[in-house]
Structure formats: C-alpha cells, structure tokens
Structure 1
Amino acid sequence: MKRADLGRRGNYGALFRNGTMDFLAGWLLGCSQLGGLSPGALLHTFARITDGDPRSWVDAFARAADATTARAEAASDPVVAAGAWLAATTAERAALMLQDPRTPNAEAARARAAEAFEAFLRSSGVPLEPWAIPFAGESLPGYVSTDLTRTRPLVVVVGGGDTSAEDLWFLGGGAFIEAGYAVLLVDLPGQGSTPADGLHFGPATLDGFWAVLDAVRGRGFGGDIVLCGWSGGGFFTTKAVEASRPSDRIVALVASTPIHDIGSMFERAMPGLARRAPRGVLAAAVTASSRFNPVLAASLAKYDWQFGPLGIAGALEAYASMTAVDLTKVDLPVLALVGDGEDAELHRQAADVVAAGRPSSRLITFDHASGASAHCQLGNLSLALAEATGWLATVAPASGDP
C-alpha cells in the first residue's frame, strides 16, 4: 500500500512506497549530479532504510554522515577532502529531513552540517564565506561571495520549507558561481536553523527578506540583484519583486515556481489533511496520522516547528489572508521553471507571473522524459540550472554589461 506525500510533488514511486520518503530520496539523487553523496552511496544507504520508518531513515543517514566525515578528515588531497565534506553535509541534512527538530540530536546535526559545508568551502577554494545577517535580535545564516563587486550581478538564492542555506549550493549556488555571478545563499525566518532562535514562517519571513537586501547594500554591494526562489521561495521572491524599492535594483526573477497567490496555492495544492482541517482538528489528525503514516507525521512535526506558535493550521490561515501579488508590479524578466509532475495550480500561477513580466520572460515546462518533472526539477537539476544560467546570460549577464 502506498502512503501519501504532503502534496503532488511528482514522485516516481520507484525508490520507496512511502510518498514522502520517495520524494526525499529523489531529491538526494538529483543533488548527487552536482556533488555530495554519490548515487552509489545513496543506494547503499537506501537499502538500509525500512520503508515508512522515519527512525531507520535518520539512523541510516547518520551512519553515512559519520563515514563521510571520517573520510574527509583522513583525506590528504584537497579535492578528495572537498568531495567528502560536501557528502557529509548532504548526509547530515538528509538525516534532518525526518528527525524531530526540537531534539539535542537535531541541533547537533544542524551544527555539523554547517561545519561540514564550511570545510567543503575551505578545501575546494570556492569563493564563498559564512555570513550571519542580523535580524530581530538574532541572525539569518547564509553564505556570500567573498569578491562582491558592482560590475556583476548578485544572485540571491532562497529555498522553501525543506531547505537550509547549505542545500542552496545544489539549487543554484554552485551553478551561478560557475557562470560568473556573485551569490548569496540565505535562510529566511522559518528556514534552516532559524526556528531554534524563535524565527518562524509568517510575516517575519518577508521582513527578513528586506533585512537581507539591506544588509547586502550595507556590505558595500551597489550592483544589480537577481532573485532565485525554489518551492516556497518562489512565493517569497515574487512577493519581494512586487514590493521592491528602486534602491534594491532587482533586475530579474528565476523561480521554480513563481507563486503570486499563496492562499489559493494552499487551498488547491495541499492535501486534505492540511487544507480542510481547522486548527484543533488538524492537531488531532496529525496525532492520528502517526499511527498510520509516521513519515508524514514526522514531516508535519517539522513544519509545525518552523511555523512556531501559530502551528501549521494557524500559519495556513495567516498565509491565506495575505493579499495576492499585484502582477502589474512584476515589471522585470521572469523565468519560471515547472515540472509536469507538479500540481496544476503551480502551472497556472507560473504562467500568470510570466505573462505579467517583460517580453523576455519565459515559462519552461519539463516533461517526465526529461527527468526534471518533479517539484523543483530535483530529478535533473543540471538541466534546470543550465536553462536558468543560459536565460540569465541574456537578461542580466555575469559581466554586468547590458
């Protein structure tokens, strides 16, 4: 019997019968095209997981993290060390996917993932450095190019509900650097480790976005900015475009997928558990689901932590009350990436945003045969990123020239 995922994310059903596990496994295999745990290492780890058992997932990836960390520490060659450190980052992040984020073990895993990624940067010589951006008495973790200059655009990469700043390396960080752009990979409130500091999804997430853009200017960067959003980041970036200030100099948007009406997206694309249940009923339903689908329960518990005091249901209500983006204010080139395996509502909203953008805007739909039909094109990130960097070169070249 197949177990449902949180929504329609284009799962193939080839790796696990549990829908959430299958999507996460596909995500990790997609990232393996760009480094991290190899396909062979992932298949070895998957074979040690009991389908539908989140504890076995966490344990298997914790062992993978220990093994890759030991290999990285023993490596004398910097190339070998860099690869092993990136693999260790991936393994630590994978273990966190189905782990209770409130536990000391999860807190330690988040710290180890960041430490491994920083070791990867040192070993590889990639020109990125950690940057803690002050916000609301805490900080937003990120990584920024060490050589910011006015002469080339800065691509600000933002993820969604399942990402941390380290994951964003695979979602454009490495590809944009290779294409010649400056890069900022950053966690907004609700993402990565920020809920542990009392920063949660909601209005603070967009407030954090403005703090990030102001911090970029405070760091001395005066050039153009490109926004790149994945999953929920497609909403945050589209909303930021609508409300952008002339001083922000946002010149292009890349999103998988751009979302202009978050309330409609939740209403139409979320599964019945999260879409229909009022707050008290939802809590009871989540508790009941743990008896039948503990993986789904683990995922929902993580989101509950990210949404903070409001909880999942309260946050859905808050997002549903947000006004839709005024598409007449989307006056810039937009690249929308969407897969055939994704919900029809995401296709509709992506097309709306592209239609509102400038003539150079494009909507690219990936079919199943491309391997990129799943949510965020995770089955073929190399293809999606090639499309993104190729298009970006025509509207905001890395040289900074018009």
Structure 2
Amino acid sequence: MVQVDGQETKVAARLTHKVFFERDDIEFTFQWLLSFAHCGGVAQGELFKLARQIDPNSITSWKNEFEQEAAKVEATAEQSLKKGHLISAGEAFIRAHSYYRAAFYGAFPDEPDFARYHGKSVECFKKALDAKSEQIPHEWVEVEYKGYKFPGCFLKAEHGNAPKPTIIFHNGGETHKEDTYFLGGQAAIDRGYNALIVDLPYDVCVRFYEPEATARNFPREELHNVYRATTDFVLARPDVDPERLVVSGMSYGGAKTMVHASCDDRFAAAVPNSPVYSMASFIERGMPSFLRGSAEEAAEQTKKMPYTGQVLFAASAWSHGFDSIAEWYHLAKEAIEVDPKDVKCPLLSMYSEAEHPEMQRQAIDTYEKAPNKKNAIFKGTEEDGADLHCQLNNLPLSYQVMFDWLDEVLDYNIQLQPAQ
C-alpha cells in the first residue's frame, strides 16, 4: 500500500501472503517468477539466492543481480549447446531468459537497459525452444496487418498437421509473449492443444518490433480489426481445428480476451482470467489518484510510488504511446469497453481472492451477464493456495480447472482421441 495524493492506493491488490520480501511490489514480482518453476523457467535455488543478495530498496541492485545470474546461466547454456547437449542447453537458456526478463522488470523505457534486457530475454527464449524442438514443436511466425508485422510463436500440440484445438493467448499488462509460454502455452501443448503466443497492439513489447503500433494508431475499430486478422491467421493453418478455437489471457489479457471474443464470433470458448470488460471503470475505482489533474500531475503522482510501480506505469504508458495513465484512460473508455452480453461463446470466468474488488466485481458480473448456458466461474482461494492475482501461486490448479472445462466444452481429450 502506498500513499498517493493523500489516499492509500494499490495498483492492484494482487497478493495476500509474503514468501520473502516485505515490500508488496517486489514480493509480487518474486512470486510471479516463482510460478515459472512449474515448467522450468527458474530454479528455486537460483531465485532464492538472488533474493538474499538483492537490496530491496535499490532498483539497481535488482537489475544487476538478475543480469549477472542471467549471463552466468546463459554461458552454461552455450557450453551445453556447443557440445550437443540440447536438452540441457534448452533448460539453461529458458532460465537465462527468465532472469533477463526479471532484470527488464526494473528498467524504464528511456534507459538503454530497457531494450537490451528485452533483446537478451527474447534471444535466450528462442534458443531454448529451438534446442528443445523435438520436445516442443513450434514455428516462429508473424501476424500481418496493414503492413505491420507482429511476431509470435505457434506452439504445436504435436509434429505434423492433424487439426487440433488451438488457443490464441493475449498478454497481460506486464506480460511478453515469452511469458505466456509459462502462463498457458506449455500447459496447452501438454494437453494436445496448439497455442499462439504473440505481441499485438496494446502489448508491452510490440513497439520493439513496430514502433508505430500504439493505442493512438489502434483505436477501438482498428484493435478489433487486428484481433480478427489474428484469428484469420490461425484459421488459415491446416493444423488448426476451426470448430475448437479458443481465446484466453491473464490480467490485462483477460480484458483483451473480452474484446476479442466480443468482436469475433469464431471462437468455441473464451477463458478470461480475470474478465475485465471495462478498463475505464477499473482505473476509476482502482487508481483514482492518477485521473486528477493534467498528464503532468498524473506523472508526478506516479513518482510517489515504489520503483517497480513506477516502472510498470512508465512501460504501460510507453507501450500504448502515451505519457501517463491519465491519457490512456480516455482511450480505454472506448477501446476496452465490452458488454458481456456480446460474448456469445461458452466462457469460463476466472479470478482470485486477492484481486482488486473491482476485478472481482467484473468477473462475477461477466459470468452472470454473458448469455451462454455452458458458462462457468472459478475463484482461486487462499484455502487452495491459489489466491494470488490470476492464481499465479498455483498455476497447476488454475490449468486443471481451465483445461478440464475446455475438454468438456469442446468435447476433446487428448487421451481419448483415436490414433492419427
């Protein structure tokens, strides 16, 4: 909790209990990184060692410790790769990616480290998947729209082109397409689903690839168009079952999922986690201090936040092409505003106990108002160890709920399919 403009404000009430750090902001990031362990994204020993070495009051300490660990692990990956130990190389590269990614979390857009950390994390991620291509079939792809090229990775359920259920994953407000491999991609291919992970407009990293792909140039209708173009891209593939297409996303990705599912009727199911259908309402109720006064005054309010909050807001404003959250709010009132009744396909509304009350309200409201009779709702609780934002502290349970529901709604189960 932080005092901003005389008011106690949390950007999002995203955690209840602490594992290591006393500061909420870096503790949430630490627990988020811990969640990557379920598919090899971090090693607990490395992560806790770094936590002991980091000065929690120093953004420089955070960045330096993670960068040094990333470089060390990357060097071991290169050694394994040179000797032909592909599995070991892939496992080390994926951890190096996560540590460069963590360093990025402490960099502001106007710093050289911002682009450098991102570039290194993407490089290591690509090397990781390519080293493990036998275990993780995949293709590096681009979604094209009006001359823009949006990079992604198509994770395949298996080698070959037999049509499979496919999920388009949207990124969260702090999430890169590489993160979404851990936050759904691997879980999908484990269960016989293809998955597209991609950086699109309104995603934090898209401007590294397409500098003009900002919210300014993608208002509501253009956002709908590029989302529909993404659906077109996926459905053009022979390995995609057009009757079993799914859209999903976590956090801000839940809001993007609501937009995509409302403007495109080709989905067989949608899984927003959490389903924010009004970003403006969330900003009004969750971050009111940043709406008072001018953009310059809003920027001054941001400077009173802990450093990771400052970085988060700066990166979010940069990715959308604005100077402050106040500016973004005015476009969000139009672009990220959905009537839940417009999501006609079956919908699983997922949220957690530690979410901001406004996120919880919208999740329940979505479930109650979206019209499909197959709709379902799930709340991650402290009792189940799944109370953190988007159930990040218990992703195995989150995916158990999500994919069991999808299997039933889509009438699909990899174990029950006839041999191809």
TM over 0.5: yes
CA drift at 1:24: 0.6
Matched, 1:166 2:184: no
Distance (Å, rounded) in 2 between the aligned partners of 1:150 and 1:320 = 42
CA drift at 1:37: 1.2
Matched, 1:284 2:297: no
Change over 3 Å in CA distance of 1:141–1:398 after alignment to 2:
farther
1:241-264 Cα deviation digits (max 9, x unpaired):
11114xxx2000112111222221
CA drift at 1:9: 1.2
3-state SS of paired residue (2:383): helix
Matched, 1:261 2:273: no
1:131-185 Cα deviation digits (max 9, x unpaired):
1222343321211035585732211111211011100011110000010011101
Please say if residues 259 and 336 of structure 2, whose CA atoms lie closer than 8 Å, have aligned partners that are also in contact: no
Q: Which of residues 112, 122, 136 is equivalent to 2:130?
A: 122
**Equivalent residue, structure 2, for 1:350:** 363
Q: Which amino acid in 1 is paired with 2:254?
A: G
CA drift at 1:205: 4.5
Q: Which of residues 166, 169, 187 is equivalent to 1:175?
A: 187
Matched, 1:51 2:56: yes
3-state SS of paired residue (1:139): strand
**Equivalent residue, structure 1, for 2:248:** 228
Please say if residues 11 and 19 of structure 1, whose CA atoms lie closer than 8 Å, have aligned partners that are also in contact: no
- Listed as ranges, the gaps of 5+ residues in structure 2 are 4-8
Q: Which amino acid in 2 is paired with 1:183?
A: A
Question: TM-score, normalized by length of structure 1?
Answer: 0.90
Please say if residues 41 and 182 of structure 2, whose CA atoms lie closer than 8 Å, have aligned partners that are also in contact: no
Matched, 1:107 2:115: yes
Matched, 1:360 2:346: no
Distance (Å, rounded) in 1 between the aligned partners of 2:187 and 2:279 = 28
1:311-365 Cα deviation digits (max 9, x unpaired):
3211112112457423332222111221101112212211222222422221111
Change over 3 Å in CA distance of 1:25–1:357 after alignment to 2:
farther
Distance (Å, rounded) in 1 between the aligned partners of 2:338 and 2:204 = 25
1:147-158 map, 5 Å: 149=161, 151-158=163-170
Distance (Å, rounded) in 2 between the aligned partners of 1:309 and 1:323 = 16
CA drift at 1:120: 1.3
**Equivalent residue, structure 1, for 2:6:** none
Q: Which of residues 122, 125, 145 is equivalent to 1:135?
A: 145
Please say if residues 142 and 150 of structure 2, whose CA atoms lie closer than 8 Å, have aligned partners that are also in contact: yes
CA drift at 1:391: 1.1
- Listed as ranges, the gaps of 5+ residues in structure 1 are none
Distance (Å, rounded) in 1 between the aligned partners of 2:162 and 2:347 = 22
**Equivalent residue, structure 1, for 2:397:** 383
Q: Which amino acid in 2 is paired with 1:271?
A: M
RMSD of the TM alignment (CA)? 2.4
Distance (Å, rounded) in 2 between the aligned partners of 1:273 and 1:33 = 37
3-state SS of paired residue (1:180): coil
Q: Which of residues 286, 295, 300 is equivalent to 2:313?
A: 300
1:241-299 Cα deviation digits (max 9, x unpaired):
11114xxx20001121112222212212x234434454231022234x2xx73332222
Please say if residues 53 and 295 of structure 1, whose CA atoms lie closer than 8 Å, have aligned partners that are also in contact: no
3-state SS of paired residue (2:322): helix
Change over 3 Å in CA distance of 1:94–1:129 after alignment to 2:
same
Please say if residues 290 and 302 of structure 2, whose CA atoms lie closer than 8 Å, have aligned partners that are also in contact: no
Moved more, 385-394 or 198-207: 198-207
Distance (Å, rounded) in 1 between the aligned partners of 2:27 and 2:93 = 25
Distance (Å, rounded) in 1 between the aligned partners of 2:155 and 2:391 = 25
Question: TM-score, normalized by length of structure 2?
Answer: 0.87
CA drift at 1:386: 1.5
Distance (Å, rounded) in 2 between the aligned partners of 1:121 and 1:135 = 26
User: Paired residues, what number?
Assistant: 394
Change over 3 Å in CA distance of 1:277–1:60 after alignment to 2:
farther
Matched, 1:184 2:196: yes
Please say if residues 342 and 374 of structure 1, whose CA atoms lie closer than 8 Å, have aligned partners that are also in contact: yes
